[in-house]
Homo-oligomer: A and B are copies of this chain.
Amino acid sequence: MARTQGSHSEITGPRVREAAMRLFARHGFAAVSMRQIATEVGVQAGALYNYTPDKQSLLFDLMREHMDALLDAWQQEDPGGTDARARLEAFTRFHIRFNTRRADAVFVSYMELRNLTGENFAAVTELRRIYETRLEEILRAGQDAGVFTLAEPRITAMAVIALLTGVNTWYRDAGRLKLDEVETLYWDMVRRLVGG
């Protein structure tokens, strides 16, 4: 379908990113063309390049924005203060809620690390490292305060994140358990895992 120049203004960032995320999650980055993304958005392929220089930049933007959103949202939800147990419970509930609502982004962020260029890989890996460090700091604070007993805070942080992200592989909104019940179950596991 022919489009006028004017329709280029319809190519908003969110529409392109949503379409790309959906297609990358369904087919994998390497199997999706800029033409497919343009078709999904409903514009001509050439018009897409007004928004993004190439597919690599689009993938990198998606992965970076996902991590930025995660870090920002946690900064909002972190109760702070000296009660490491309360902060760890808040982190547990936050991580499950944030990630179950963004299944495609979580899947793409894990799966497509392999397709980032060296520089982009380093940038995304650094954001992941920062997120792990947020949790590690809570674990160390709890350890110092004598409320947690654990070896290797860094590895424990990565283990807890893997445990919590695993909810995405089985949780369904229509399932037997409500999300807040799932959060409570996992908080019970995390609390015991750190000797809390």
- A residues within 8 Å of B by Cβ? 25-31, 111, 114, 151-152, 155-156, 158-159, 161-163, 165-166, 169-170, 177, 182, 185-186, 188-189, 192-195
Contact = CB atoms under 8 A, between A and B. Distances in A.
Nearest to A161: B166
Given A25-B114, A192-B194, 15 more contacts: A26-B114, A27-B28, A27-B30, A28-B29, A30-B30, A31-B31, A155-B177, A155-B185, A158-B166, A158-B169, A159-B163, A159-B166, A162-B163, A162-B166, A163-B166
A158 B170 CA distance: 8
A161 B169 CA distance: 11
* Main SS at interface, chain A: helix
B31 A185 contact: no
Considering residues A31, A156, A162, A194, which has the most beta carbons from chain B within 10 angstroms of its beta carbon? A162
Nearest to A113: B169
Contact of A31 (B25, B26, B30, B111): B30
8 contacts: A26-B114, A27-B28, A28-B28, A28-B29, A28-B31, A159-B163, A159-B189, A161-B166
Contacts of A152: 185
Nearest to A149: B192
A105 to B, nearest CB: 15
Contact of A162 (B29, B156, B158, B169): B169
A162 B159 CA distance: 9
